[in-house]
Structure 1
Amino acid sequence: MEPTALSKVLVRLPNLITLFFSLTLVTGFRLLNDRFHWNTSPTFDITVWNDVLVLVSFLTTLLFIVTAWLGFSVLIERVPYQGSFNRFLFDTARFSALFPLLMWSFLAESPSHFQVFVWGLATWHLVMAIWYLWPVIIKNTSRTGHSSDMLSHVIISGIYYALGLAYYLLIATKWDTAPNQSLRIGLVLVTMAVIAFWSVNRLRNLEKRLVNESAPKQLTT
């Protein structure tokens, strides 16, 4: 059957999502270079905690963004865009939201504003969970993901909201009167560890899912 004009357009749209992903990374690395001036006079000092926190935060967020793009790539292969622009518009929004998240990763050195980054991550995952839940809400049996994906986003969103609230109450609101540098560094590093753990676990699950789907089905007798 001759493909429709809509289907011809939809098949090319994933390239635009990849462009959003690429622009986010390019801009992020440019800002990282502006922060540490690695191509002129490097200012990174491993003995300065703020420098270490910024670098760790950036690299951890980068891992998270790469994981999000790999998840998108797997999903678009399994369930291509079809029928409407709805999924494409949602993917455009969620990948555009990754841009400020990478920028906010530099708030790791700001005692009064780091919770903005953490709550931004929490909101991103909450929106993802709602997207997976939407087919159930509208009583549509056609799903574009696994129920385990939705549960994973719900759990990690709750964890990030809790971490952001803890940081806000224990650090941000008290920094001008009773700064606690050790606790601040600890909370930032715990947040980074959670991001890294979720991202690596997500990558392993994606890999395992792809291997299982590509493995030949065993015949039962």
Structure 2
Amino acid sequence: MIKWLLMLIAILVVFGCARHDENAEAENGAVNSEQKGKGMQAIKEEEKEVDQYINNPQAPDTRSLKEIGDTYEDEDGKVTLVASTDDSKRLEIGPIELTYKNLKVMEYRPALHLIDYFHQFTHHEDRFNYLKLQVKIQNKSEQTINVAPVSVLETSEGELKGFEDDFYLQELHGKLSPGQVKTGELAYILEKSDPEQLNSISITTSDVYEDNKQQAIEKGKKVELAF
């Protein structure tokens, strides 16, 4: 009788340990799944934050324009999509990572209150074509650096634009603190380039400088996006 009682106790102990291990494994799996889920959510939130649209007071939002001929109008004026490309490029210059994408050419008819603003950029301020693109800049170093994602932009028809020709003015040129990410758009009025004949653009960045902009730590690079 004692022998059978001891065997019964041993079986119950083994069964209890097995159940405990199964429960612990299930709990650990749930915790890992929850942590993984939170990690993926954090990544998605970070990407969403980085790519978040920045409203621009100089022109309407063009995100809804997908097909050639699509138009959009708001209080800033009317834009029509005349050319676009899905081409995108990622460029590394020392501690800096640059991404160029969402390249579009728009026909723009600004509202009356913006005519004077565009007079400083073109003599056809009531109706003109402009090129716009989205830029993301990330400083992967532990020091503050200074860089211009577009120092010179040249179209396939030979029209040149400098960083001072950008009329969106979203402060994408200049300093980035350690680990900082900037994202936004640049826009340049086209006066010598026919959008229907436009094959590509080339972008030359500035050199990458230290904070004081006295010493270059990396030479600038050139990248091309095709239509």
Note whether the superposition's TM-score is higher than 0.5: no
TM-score (norm 2): 0.28
Bigger strand fraction? 2
TM-score (norm 1): 0.29
Larger radius of gyration: 2
Larger RCO: 1 or 2 (CA < 8 Å, sep 6+): 1
